[in-house]
Structure 1
Amino acid sequence: MQFLFGLLVRIVILGAGLVAAASIAVVLTVLLAFWLLRAAWARLTGRPVTPFVMRMGPRGAFEEMMRRAPARPASRTPRSDAAAGPRARLADVTDVDPK
């Protein structure tokens, strides 16, 4: 009895693995067909064929989050750098010795 139960469990696990592999293969086949159709359409219309690329950089993610952030309300207390007034811009660098 124990042998039959173990065999049944193995068959069920094997079947589940085969179903998972088949579903992944179907999804990849559909994506490949979509990409080939898109590439064929791009060639027919004279456009360059571009690959599916997801570009992600730390700077882009930071800028995206800063754009999404709500605007801060104006502070009722003055900031220390604003109290001194605008700083004059230096006309030339004076502490560098030319070589």
Structure 2
Amino acid sequence: MNDFATTATRWAIRIMLMLVGLVFFVCLLAVASAFALLWAVRALWAKLTGQPVSPWGVRMGPMSPFAGWQTVYRSGAEWMAQSSGAADAASGRAEREARTRRGILPGAGDVTDVQPREVHES
């Protein structure tokens, strides 16, 4: 009797997992069919109105991997432009480049809550 219960339980679990997989597959098939139907209606409407049919694609918007770098680069450039001013832009550029080469960050001279110390290069 114990062997029968074990075998019945295993088959019941297998059947349940098979049904869950079948339901998942049918749901995915329904979603894909809905997208295909929506695209076909969209293409038909574009043909009827004389507009070109444009494919759907991933747009490089605010979630593009390059947007983060562009944002950081832009904000750094704007910050440097605001801190240096327009009058001393030409003379300040050479000084900023020299400070960057020495490892001094822009705006480090404005910090007042720390004690400056010598930089030892090794």
Give the alignment's TM-score, normalised by structure 1: 0.63
CA distance in 2, matches of 1:12, 1:6: 10
CA distance in 2, matches of 1:62, 1:39: 35
What's the counterpart of residue 15 of structure 1?
19
Show the 5 A alignment for 1:64-83.
Answer: 66=71, 79=84, 82=85
Show the 5 A alignment for 1:1-99.
Answer: 1-56=5-60, 57-59=64-66, 61-62=67-68, 66=71, 79=84, 82=85, 85-87=88-90
CA distance in 2, matches of 1:12, 1:58: 42
CA distance in 2, matches of 1:62, 1:45: 39
Q: Structure 2: state its 5+ residue gaps.
A: 72-78, 92-122
SS in 2 for 1:87: helix
Give the alignment's TM-score, normalised by structure 2: 0.52
Q: Percent identity?
A: 30
Partner deviation per Cα, 1:39-64 (whole Å, 9 max, x = no partner): 000000011101110133533x237x
- The code of the aligned residue for 2:65 comes to P
Q: Structure 1: state its 5+ residue gaps.
A: 67-73, 89-99
